[in-house]
Chains A and B, each alone.
Chain A
Amino acid sequence: MSSPSDEELLGQYIAGSVSAFESLYRRHKASLYRFILRQIDVNSAEEIYQETWASVISHAQELSTKEHFKAWLFAVARRKIIDRYRHLSVVSSVIDIDESIDDHTTTRPFDSESELGRAKMAQDLLICLNKLPVAQREVFILKEESGFKYKEMATVLNIGVEGVKSRISAMYDNLRKCLAVAWTDLGDK
């Protein structure tokens, strides 16, 4: 027996089922949380995460059953992140590489097969993600955390499908360049 869809669970919650909401929450909590966390500091991420679910709780009734719940959920979170950035006046399309980031990267050769090597690679990935322009970082996190297809991503980002594709392409170019530099030692070994 297949599990109920998000929209069915939402309908049950609107009808008064708390357990339906719990199922919906458990289904999306981790991906949504990480989507927010990757884009803002932990404290703000927790606030935005809570505010996003509060919006679901209070505005569930207004959601048409035809709407894609998950896309709506991520779009709400995204809007709240943008609002937070605006509030903090942190509006920057490109995050420059600063010196402090270099402190995290080691010039010491490492082995990609070892535990330490994998940890180093993961750390570099997160550092490179943070170096990406906001719009590119956002598209990467959305793709990885939500598992959305282009069309759904376009809905969340409020742009066209072609825009999504071009953003993804630019994102991978920049990310790969950054990782290639960070993992030079790995390549040499």
Chain B
Amino acid sequence: MKDDPTEPNKISKLYKQVSTEEPSGKLDEDILAMAREHVASKNVKKQASHNMRWFSYLTAASLLLVIGLILPVWEDNGSDPLIISELPKRSELEQVSNLDLNEGHQIEKSEDREAPELSEFSRLILQLKTLQEYRKTITQKGDLAENEILDHYQKIDADILAKQNALLSILKMNPRYISDVGIKEPLQEVLTEEQYNSLF
């Protein structure tokens, strides 16, 4: 009996013999190049996203650092940001701490230049002057409610008192400052009469 060439298995075998086409080398190359390009572009995106993440971390860290540096200045100058904005900056205070506080009179003598108390003393006087000036103008702050003004007064008064006490303790520990003629006038300006008299 002769085999039937139209049997599915025979057809399949014949088909496999004839079906041998393959894509051209150029097609292969184009497709593989496409894949390589896609991976490369993905890597570039991944790297960019990695860099962006690090940039965000660094920015956040820098921000925290800046906040960490600014906060102590705020606390130093008073707890209320409204007052702080009116006060001279630390750098400005330190700049003037070595200068004459009273019409060209030189408080600082050469041997005093290294005494930290004197620098603190000058700074306190400047701060007290500024605070007291500010206290006089507080009622002109039109955008503040009455209770806010009172609250403000209390804070400023407490701050002034703390600074006056600090000033007094420096002077008591360094009586030689008191003997300086030029210091009397600024002290009279920033201390109460009672405080001033207690020094002499």
Contacts and interface: CB of A to CB of B under 8 A. Distances in A.
Interface of A: 13, 16-18, 21-22, 25, 29-30, 33-34, 37-38, 46, 49-50, 53-54, 57-58, 112, 118, 121-123, 125-126, 144-145, 172, 175-176, 179-180, 183, 186-187
7 contacts: A17-B39, A18-B35, A22-B35, A33-B21, A34-B21, A57-B38, A126-B18
Interface string B12-38: 101111110111100110111011101
A172 B36 CA distance: 43
Interface string B86-126: 00000000000000000000000000000000000000000
A21 B38 CA distance: 11
B34 A37 contact: no
A180 B19 contact: no
B102 to A, nearest CB: 74
A58 to B, nearest CB: 7
Nearest to A119: B18
Contacts of B14: 118, 121-122, 125
B52 to A, nearest CB: 19
Given A38-B19, A144-B16, 12 more contacts: A18-B39, A22-B35, A29-B22, A50-B30, A53-B34, A57-B35, A118-B17, A122-B14, A122-B18, A123-B18, A125-B11, A145-B19
A18 B32 CA distance: 8
Given A16-B39, A16-B42, A33-B22, A54 B34 contact: yes
Nearest to A21: B35
B68 interface: no
Given A30-B22, A34-B21, A49-B27, A179 B35 contact: no
B18 A112 contact: no
Contact of A125 (B18, B30, B32, B35): B18
A121 B42 contact: no
B6 A122 contact: no
B43 interface: yes
B8 interface: yes
Contact of B19 (A17, A25, A34, A187): A34
A34 B18 CA distance: 11
A81 to B, nearest CB: 16
Contact of A46 (B23, B39, B42): B23
Contacts of B6: 175-176, 179-180, 183
B15 A22 contact: no
Nearest to B40: A18
B193 to A, nearest CB: 81
A171 B112 CA distance: 111
Contacts of B38: 57-58
Contacts of A30: 21-23
B42 to A, nearest CB: 7
B17 A25 contact: no
Contacts of B21: 30, 33-34, 37
Nearest to B15: A144
Contacts of B23: 29-30, 33, 46, 49
A37 B38 CA distance: 26
